[in-house]
Each structure stands twice: as C-alpha cells, then as structure tokens.
Structure 1
Amino acid sequence: MALLSSTHSRALVQPNRVAIRGTRTIVCNALPEFKVEKAAAAVLASALLMCPAALADLNVYEAAAGGEFGIGSAQQYGEADIQGKDFSNQDLRRSNFTSADCRKANFKNSNLQGAYFMKAVAFQTNFEGANLSDVLMDRSVMNEANLKDAILERAVFTRSDLGGANIEGADFTNALLDKTQQMALCKYADGINPVTGVSTRKSLGCGSARRFRQASPSNPEGPQVSESDKEAFRATMPTYRE
C-alpha cells in the first residue's frame, strides 16, 4: 500500500471501510474492492489530486522514455496535414502517419520500416527508393504514388487503392494485397529493385496463382530480416530500464 503526502489527513483505505486519522498522509491506492464512507470521500478525492509527483516516481522509466512516438526515429504525424512536406532522406522508422493527409509529400530514399500509414491519403506522394518494409498501409489512398525502386517487403496494402502508381523496380515480396489490386498491378509491373535485386513481377507473383496464395508477411520461405537491420531497428526503441 503506497502513502502520498497531503496537508490534511490520512485516509487508510481497506476493504469495505475508510479510516480518517489526523496526520499529513493519505493512501492513494488500495485493494481493488472497497466502499468509501461518505465522511472520507471528499478528503480522499482532494488528496488524490496531489498524487502526480508520486505517480511520476512510480512511472519514472516511462516518463524518461516519453512514450513510443517522438523518441528516436518514431515521429507522430497522425491525422496531420503534411501536404507537400519534404521528408526525404530521413530515418522515420516506426513513425505514425495514420489518417495523415500526405498528398504530394516527398519521402524519397527515407527509411520508413515499420511505419503506420493506415487510412492515409498519399495521392501522388513520392516514395521513390524508400524502405517501406513491414509498413501498415491498409485502407490507404495511393493513387499515382511514386513507388519506383521502393522496398515493400511484408507491407500490408489490404483495401488500399494503388491505381496509377509507379511501381517500376518496386519489391513487393511477401506484401499483402487484395487479389484484384495485385492483378491490376501485374498488368504493367516491370523492373528490378536495385537494392534487393528482385523482379517486381516476381515479387507480386504475377502469372502464378500458387505463388500469390503462398505469399504472406509471415511466409517463412520469404526473405528474412538481416541481423544488422534488426539491431538497427531495436536501437530506435525506447529504453525503460538499464
């Protein structure tokens, strides 16, 4: 049971009762099930308002880390209007662009591994040469987006619209797309990714229904993440304890 400072009294909270004593301490937490006597309720409520400092002590590691977004490469742009903004050549791993309006924004050659783009509007957005592996981009509007030479391994595009997107040299290995979207992209897919050396048509499973059915982000036979990439990704995670 934790005790927190107060200038009024001490309320000892126990199951089914609250005791008021004339000291300078009040209990902020107790067993989950109890009934607070009316006489003690006001004192207990007012003293709880004085708990932030103590609660910060209880969460010192979380407070120091500052949360998932805004730490290291993970930035927060959820629902933001970032039309035409330049994010090129940046480390934006695990960043959040959920429901963001990023029309005509520039992410050329940026590292967006594990980023969130669910429900984002990416009309004519430039992702040329970007690392979009493990990105969640489902239900996104990506009409006429530039995905030339982008790495899209294990990315999720379910219910997304990639109509008119430039996918020359893009690597979709083990990416998750709707069947109709995959067929539409295969009509003009071409090129080889300059980094992975994988053919765009092969990564999309064009002309092979069996290969498409087998492709999934969890396919153990697909390309695996290198140890160096794993270590670099872990380095962007908040540190709670030394």
Structure 2
Amino acid sequence: MAAAIITFSSNNMSALADLNKFEAATPGEFGRGSAAQFGSADLRKAVHMNENFRRANFTAADMRESDFSGSTFNGAYLEKAVAYKANFSGADLSDTLMDRMVLNEANLTNAVLVRTVLTRSDLGGAVIEGADFSDAVLDLPQKQALCKYASGTNPVTGVSTRVSLGCGNSRRNAYGTPSSPLLSAPPQKLLNRDGFCDDDTGLCEAK
C-alpha cells in the first residue's frame, strides 16, 4: 500500500513537471516563458541575475534583499510578494501583475515596467531613476509620490521616467488610476430631461 502511494505521488510530480514544460513551450500573449512556480517561496537574499522568469508565479513570495537584476519577468505574477530592498535594476517587468506588492527601497533603476499593474503596492523609498512606467497602473497617491523625485531616461526604451509616470500631466495622472473611482475615467455625460446634450460641449442644457 505504501509503495503504491509513493508510486502515485511520483507519477503526480512527473505529470506536473511535464505540464510546466508544456506551458513553458506554448506561445501565448507574452511569448514563451519559464512557467516556473515560486508561489510563497522563501527567496530572501537569493541571486538570480539575468535569468528568464517569463510567466512565472511569485505570488506571496518573500524576495527581500534578493538580486534579480537584468532578469526578464514578462507576464509574471508577483502579487503580494515582499521585495523589500530587492534589486530589479535593468529588469524587464513589463506586463507583470505586481498588485499589493511591497517594494520599499527596492532598486528599479533602468527597469522596464510598461503596462505593469502596481495597484495598492508600496514603493516607498524605491530607486526609480531611468525606470519606464509607460501605461503602468498605479494608485494616484503613489504616482504623485514617485513624481516628486522621478528622474532619468530608460536606456532600452528611451522614455523619460517623468514622462512615463505622467508627472505634471493631470489628465494622465487622473485617468491612469482605476483604484481611484472618482478619477479613474472621464466623467459620464449627464442628459437633460429630454435625453439630449449639447453636441459641441457634451454638456446638457439646464432647464
């Protein structure tokens, strides 16, 4: 009976390994990737420089003081991960889900965070010189805090960090923050009692 259980477990592990290999070799929205699983893993002070973590899962992983500089994370899941003082300098974090992530004092120098979701994440004290946040989704207070010291230009994309954050652009700041319901989208047109608005201004006539 025990032997049967061991065999069953071994077969399960083999099947999971084969599944991960299949997922890694399957092209998808973000291309081929590692499909590696690091959910809730202890990666404190780990060194993984210039590695491929496309589509990998780091949900709730402990990445404190780790070094992932130069690594690729396209399409990876990092929500609720703790990356205090982690080094992501030069990393490609585009199209990643980093919701509710702790990035206090993390090094994001020259990192690419295009289309990254960072809602409810904490970037207090993060180094962002040369980072590209184009089309990233951040909470408005967090974006405003980053704009106070944002500087540099990303060497890969050629985009200014301040421009990518929309610093000084109230429209981009307001409409780029879905977690702020009053600012997350252009206001809806209000109709008058006849159901019509002014074609030129979009405003309704008061009657």
Matched, 1:196 2:121: no
Is the alpha carbon distance of 1:203 and 1:68 closer, same or farther for their aligned partners in structure 2, counting shifts above 3 Å?
Answer: farther
110, 124, 131: which one aligns with 1:149: 110
Task: Indicate the SS of the match to 1:181.
Answer: helix
Please name the residue that 1:168 is paired with. Answer: 129
Is the alpha carbon distance of 1:64 and 1:189 closer, same or farther for their aligned partners in structure 2, counting shifts above 3 Å?
Answer: closer
- Deviations for 1:69-123, whole angstroms, at most 9, x for unmatched residues? 9845121110000101111100110111100000011110011111111000000
TM-score (norm 1): 0.61
Partners of 1:208 and 1:69 lie apart in 2 by 44
Partners of 1:112 and 1:213 lie apart in 2 by 27
Please name the residue that 1:130 is paired with. Answer: 91
Partners of 1:69 and 1:100 lie apart in 2 by 24
Matched, 1:94 2:85: no
Gaps of 5+ in 1: 1-52, 57-61, 218-242
19, 29, 46: which one aligns with 1:66: 19
Task: Indicate the SS of the match to 1:87.
Answer: coil
The structure with the largest alpha-carbon Rg is: 1
Which amino acid in structure 2 is aligned with residue 115 of structure 1? A
Aligned identity (percent) is 57
TM-score (norm 2): 0.71
Is the alpha carbon distance of 1:101 and 1:63 closer, same or farther for their aligned partners in structure 2, counting shifts above 3 Å?
Answer: closer
Gaps of 5+ in 2: 1-7, 25-32, 179-207
Partners of 2:47 and 2:21 lie apart in 1 by 23
Contact 1:85/1:106 (CA < 8 Å) preserved in 2? yes
- Deviations for 1:185-223, whole angstroms, at most 9, x for unmatched residues? 000000000000000000000011112234479xxxxxx
Report how far residue 68 of structure 1 moved.
7.4
Matched, 1:178 2:131: no
Aligned ranges for residues 19-38 of structure 1 at < 5 Å?
A: none
Report how far residue 135 of structure 1 moved.
0.7
Is the alpha carbon distance of 1:89 and 1:66 closer, same or farther for their aligned partners in structure 2, counting shifts above 3 Å?
Answer: same
Which amino acid in structure 2 is aligned with residue 155 of structure 1? T
Q: Select the structure that is richer in strand.
A: 1
Partners of 2:107 and 2:19 lie apart in 1 by 34
Contact 1:174/1:216 (CA < 8 Å) preserved in 2? no
Contact 2:131/2:154 (CA < 8 Å) preserved in 1? yes
145, 153, 167: which one aligns with 1:206: 167
Partners of 1:114 and 1:141 lie apart in 2 by 18
Which amino acid in structure 1 is aligned with residue 59 of structure 2? T
Please name the residue that 1:115 is paired with. Answer: 76
Is the alpha carbon distance of 1:191 and 1:102 closer, same or farther for their aligned partners in structure 2, counting shifts above 3 Å?
Answer: same
- Deviations for 1:150-178, whole angstroms, at most 9, x for unmatched residues? 00000001000000000000000000000
Task: Indicate the SS of the match to 1:182.
Answer: helix
Contact 1:151/1:171 (CA < 8 Å) preserved in 2? yes
Is the alpha carbon distance of 1:90 and 1:67 closer, same or farther for their aligned partners in structure 2, counting shifts above 3 Å?
Answer: closer
Task: Indicate the SS of the match to 2:172.
Answer: helix
Which amino acid in structure 2 is aligned with residue 79 of structure 1? S
Partners of 1:77 and 1:215 lie apart in 2 by 30
Which amino acid in structure 2 is aligned with residue 106 of structure 1? D
